[in-house]
Structure 1
């Protein structure tokens, strides 16, 4: 009798509702982030805010230069402007929420907002995977088949390639987000990250996610394998063509054009391989956040610098915009 009484007291309507909310994922998540681990969280927040503004302004300026200067209306600069657009979008998906949480002192995020953040981030990052591959193919056609370049990379082809990048990226978001957010979360709802990333949220599930994690791993391998194959093949042919060039100036220009893109590829793909392809034994919450900060916050800042400081055409367009008389030279 006492046992039945204790059970009935525990199973009050409020307790049952709380349990259902915790189990079905209706309640909020908590983003632990990395400010709590810092000895100077305010200073760290200020630094991240400054980096965020610099990344937005740098990428916006690069897009403005490409749009305003007709001499930059070429496939290469069109793809660079699209890369800047993606960088602006995915840094805006994560950083404002993180900074607002620090200012307001609330680290809660609803399940719907978490799912939306996860979807947008997966879509944009997936699209950037394929965009970097498209950019390497563009350089391959320009260097290895210069006479056919206007036909092979005309405006219609460029738009189709960009549409394909966005479609494949959104496929990644549409597959991963619904599955991840329908898992039961019946334990801790603290996400040891500063945004809702798929691996970090999956760790909170109280169900067996082994099959899903295996399929996600295979999906990520495929998402990386296709672009990496395109990039490797393109640059192999480019290298062979450059070696056969008789002009030292031609070799220098070709290598200078490709080096910027390869720098971005190494930075972006290196961080993605660590996050999505290395076994769980290699991961810790702290390391995962550091790597995510690198390719979520720092990479969008570095990309416009890499493509502007190392590119004479962009610097000349900037001088023209600022009213300085540039001597624009075609590359």
Structure 2
């Protein structure tokens, strides 16, 4: 972990500490005591189902991942949660998965890295699109972005012209970079051809369906977390907050989104009129799901392992 990662960890922990400093601990303790454990466990089950789909989706998309035996693959998946604090956002989780798949399959790291990156980008863009649509459709959010929209409408015409010129220059620069380094990039991505050839129409549809199912489960997890503390909220409002919380986790601002994700959840819920104590309790319960997975992964990581080469399908009858 270099100095930049240490600074990001300090930033995230500072945000989390600030949230606690503003909290009424007596009210927070009351919220925890009154938590509906049935909804809490249901939320954890939805979180676990999301994780299982994430694992299955990666194994289906990556031929290298499919070569790892199921037990070793499941163990790698759960252990990756323990690696999240090592790098910002979701990078620590994905980096451990890529490293383990590349070492275990013996076919390098490029293919699983590209596949995993593609899956993350698809989920990111889908959640971002849904979040923007809900923010534009729901009147409760309009006060947040109305001043920015009014400011953009006041921009002079030359502002739009400069934007067009900047876009054109970006396209030209992108073409020049590809013309200069394109062949080298294609050579580096040669290991992805197998995955591309295996991506039939039916497999692609299954991957898309699994990606949407994961998003639905993430939203369900958050809605159940709200119910665990007796917070009644319009389902579309809750969905918009859940999407923002998921996006905050992916931002590389702090390891595993520590502090950033909690700040987004608390800030949005308080904006919607929820008291601070239950809003913080919801954020902490959502974090507890991840911490529990990370704890299980940490225990698994410390247990003895077999040789990575013996964990592939090719070396077993």
Q: TM-score range by the shorter chain?
A: 0.3 to 0.5
TM-score, with structure 1 as normaliser: 0.32
Query: With CA pairs under 8 Å and 6+ residues apart, which has the higher RCO, 1 or 2?
Result: 2
TM-score, with structure 2 as normaliser: 0.33
Kindly indicate which of the two structures has a greater share of residues assigned to helix. 2
